[in-house]
Structure 1
Amino acid sequence: MPPFAQSRRHFLGTLSVAGLGVTAITSCGGSDSGGKDSSGRTVIEWWHIMTGDPAKKVWAERAKAYEAEHPDLRIKIVTVENEAFKSKMTALTSSGKLPDMYHTWGGGVLKQQVDAGLVEDLTGTVKPWIGELVPAAPKAYEFDGKLYAVPYDIGGVGFWYNKALFKKAKIDEPPTTWSGYLDAVQQLQDAGITPIALAGKEKWPGMYYWAYLALRLAGVDGMQKAADDEDFSGDAFVKAGEHLMELVDLKPFQKGFLGAAYATPTGEAAAMGNGKAAMELMGQWAPLTQRDAGKGIGKDLGFFSFPTVEGGTGKITDVFGGGGGYAVRKGAPKEAVDFLKFFVSAATDRTLVKEANVLPVNKQALDALTDPGLKAVSDMLNASTGFQLYLDQALPPAVGQEINDSVAALIAGSTSPEQVTRSITQVAKSQ
């Protein structure tokens, strides 16, 4: 996966890149993990990636609250920085020794662990209460009708836009079709407004356009078939590139976008936050990042779903996004699943929403949302008819990287829509 997990999770608090957290990561599989401590308490070792406050503090408080209700249990927290976590988990998966309970983004990596027989099938255990969660939330952790992780966070990508700039360009309503979107881009340009902010240097923000166009054309089932067949050369994927080139040909991005980063003072988020561009295609963390990198545009910030594409089978209610969950290793103490039930309960979820600014996964905690931007994303997710996990998480890492690289080359004008699909298919079949 490309190095943007910190940006994706910016709303959880700034993530540390300096260390591995409060507990040495060599403790995995230690004598007190999944066994008893010196006081006779059952010990559950829990690995998470919340290395920055407020999330780190909230996660620790939730563990203590559960321990207070279960004095015969101790939750041993191992906090690991995001990129270090990926590296360490790769090694642990190869060794066959996973923590009792650990963070997962679902998709291809979790599937590899499942196929290796390392992950507990939670389907039956969570059946009595999993229906309390937003329907889209568990999708990234389901394989062949079985659930292998419990989500605590969910998010989705859509267009953030500047209502004042839309008004200046005489755009009354956000577009709902791709042709209407291209018309809106042209109207913004005619009004002397930069239509779109894009961090071309980091590649992944541009990939969102191709991925969403493919989702709108192929539909959720078509995306899954391409992944299963390891073949992205179909007509829908070629057309996704062609439609993206329609946009690129309008020259809608800010000056110097190919060298722009995402969260820097001169990057994509700052262009939006300073009112220098009318739109960006980004996830639910966008408003906070806009305020951190720029000034923020306050009440002028709006949100709309990626438009439908004429002739496609996908719906405007199909969402491209991701989130986080916790998987349980096969053979871990049964209390681990009960703790997960506690962690995604309505009461705990309200705490996560209010103090860590995450989107609720428990439907009964939706009333805790007060930020209008987050509420708009949550409403989109609650109304979703399909959910497509980020491609660099749904697919093997090398395939996700090839998608990012190929789409970036397409936007830069150095490859063709057909070559993009051939390159991705070639890497997919080599895995």
Structure 2
Amino acid sequence: MQVTETQNEGLKRAYTMLLTAQELDDKVMDKLKEAQPEVEMKGFRKGKVPLALLKKNFGQRVLGEAMQEAVDDAMKAHFAESGDRPAGEPAVKMTNEDWKEGDDVEVEMSYEKLPDIPEPDLKSIKLERMKVVPDDGAVDEALASLAENAQNFEDRKKGSKAKDGDQVTMDFVGRVDGEAFEGGSAEDYPLVLGSDSFIPGFEEQLVGVKEGEEKDVTVNFPEDYQAEHLAGKEAVFSCTIKAVKAPKPAEIDDELAKKFGAEDLDGLKGQIRERLEVEYAGAARAVMKRALLDKLDEMVDFDLPPSMVEGEAKQIAHQLWHDDNPDVEGHDHPEVEPTEEHEKLAARRVRLGLLLADLGQKAEVQVSDQEMTQAIMEQARQYPGQERQFFEFVQQNQQMQQQLRAPIFEEKVVDYVVELADVTEKEVTKDELQKAVEALDDE
């Protein structure tokens, strides 16, 4: 197949490929010869059907397949010879749309090639790793938080009014248009006021109730309520208050420790200290990673595939629009045009993404099957009861696998670079680390 270059501008490439009628006919005949030993036809023994007859009966059927194979082979040969790596799927189209059998086939192929990426001197990179040693104050603070979350409730003095944060035990019956509805009744139900576990407006109306009191609570079901027959309708809940209890933080003692799986309070403190060390190390790594990416971004400069930058900019603009409009869950909204700031951020992401991918490839960084399985299982936990279906879905979906593999690969490449870099450790306070983490969000 004859290949002629028609565009060579920056990273953009375009070629015309000419497949002559004779070349296509030869390809068809090769495929028919390949199939001939297995073909049976009336009047002929298996494998003895003449090629001319095979072409007459099956030539049209294999023509399209032969044409596609010829184009695919030409593309593979071109990329092998040129060394180009396309940034995306090459655009391929047949240019002589009025083609008929016996004509030459003219095909146009265009793509953006991945750039040649300079290799930075990783050993010249200087990084600082922040380190926080959990002190007794941080451990005590975490203990207090655990005690608050493990709080109990004790009866308020008889006749006391319920306050926000109190637990109210009650019987209730819900009615719509005077008729009780399924799922709208309960007995001895413990409800913490202010927990937002009931329909909006319900809990606020119970503030001030007393033990033994009966109260009707009137609320409107949300328009998007999951039970369509109740959505948007007014409901009246007849409530009988059976107890009003005040929150009481759990005592910080061995009993509390046992609730959280430790043998005693000292054991729980040890677990907390270890958890804090992991949390601090994770935060410190995030700060160091940002510093590393900033340095890498400064060290390299190369042409970027325009389509990759454009696609990334659109994705950034779209995501930020949804962040500013959290009530809009679907995508049936006006098109969001990327700004210059979006394009600048997109260029950085694409540049760093290509650089890290290149560094990882040269260092032969691999994501193991075990790491992938762990990542899939962590994602599957977000779908209780459907873990198996999610696992099977990922196994059959290459794009989803790539989405899970990409962040693992990136972290492993970062670890590889950090090992080569000159890293010094600096002990800081928790507040200093927190300030550095908050600065990441501001950039």
TM-score, structure 2 as length reference: 0.21
More strand as a share of residues: 2
TM-score, structure 1 as length reference: 0.21
